[in-house]
Amino acid sequence: MSQQLVQLIVSGLAVGAVYALVGLAFILVNEATGVVNFATGQFVMVGCFVAVTTVVQMQLPLAAAYPLALTAMAFFGAIFYAIVFRPLQDRAVVTVIIGTVMIGIVIQNASLITWGSVPFRPRSPFGRQVVDVFGAAISAHALFVIAVAFLMIGLLYVLIYRTSVGARMRAVAQDRDAARLMGIGVDRMFVLTWVIAGLLTGTAGILVGPMWFADVNMGDPIALKAFAAIIIGGFSSVPGAILGGVLVGLAEMLGAAYVSSTYKDGIVFLIMILFLLVRPQGIFGERIGERA
Partner 1 sequence: MGKKRTMTRRTVLAGLAAGAGVTIYAPRLSAQAGEIAVGAMVPITGPFNVSGQQYHFSLQMAQDEINAKGGVAGKKLKIVFEDVKDSNSVAVNAYLKVVRDLNPPFVFLSSYTTQNLATEPEVVKAQIPGMYAGGGDAMHAKKNPWLFRIRPYDGLQALALARHATEGLGKKKIGILYVQNDFGQPGALAAEKIVKAAGAAVVGLEAYAFTDNDMSAQLQKLKNAGADCLIAISYGKDGALILKLAKEMALNLPIVISSGVMVPAARNLIAPDELAGIYGVMDAHLGPERGAAVADYVKRFKDRFKIDPDPFGSCYYDGAMILKQVLDKVGPDRAKIRDALKAVKGYEGVTNTFTTDADGNMVHSLAVFSIKPGTRDPVFLRTIGA
List residues near partner 1 by CB under 8 A: 4, 7-8, 11, 15, 87, 90-91, 109, 112, 116-121, 128, 130, 137, 139, 208, 211-213, 215, 217-218, 220-222, 252-254, 256-257, 261-262, 264-265
- Does an H or E element contain 115, and which? helix 93-115
Long-range contacts of 271-279 (CB under 8 A, 24+ apart): 271/228, 271/232, 271/247, 272/228, 272/231, 272/232, 275/231, 275/232, 276/231
Closer residue to partner 1, CB minimum distance, 88 or 200: 88
Closer residue to partner 1, CB minimum distance, 31 or 215: 215
Tell the smallest beta-carbon distance from residue 105 to partner 1 (Å): 10
Tell the smallest beta-carbon distance from residue 110 to partner 1 (Å): 11
Q: Is 210 helix (H, G, I), strand (E, B) or coil?
A: helix
Longest CA–CA span in the chain (Å) reads 59
Each residue of 232-255: b (16+ CB within 10 Å) or e?
A: bbbbbbbebbbbbbbbbbbbbbbb
Tell the smallest beta-carbon distance from residue 153 to partner 1 (Å): 20
Closer residue to partner 1, CB minimum distance, 68 or 254: 254
CA angle 50, 226, 3 (to 5 degrees): 95
Tell the smallest beta-carbon distance from residue 59 to partner 1 (Å): 16
Closer residue to partner 1, CB minimum distance, 28 or 138: 138
* Contact (Cβ atoms closer than 8 angstroms) between residue 41 and residue 224: yes
Tell the smallest beta-carbon distance from residue 156 to partner 1 (Å): 24
Strand ranges, E, within 152-244? none
Closer residue to partner 1, CB minimum distance, 9 or 160: 9
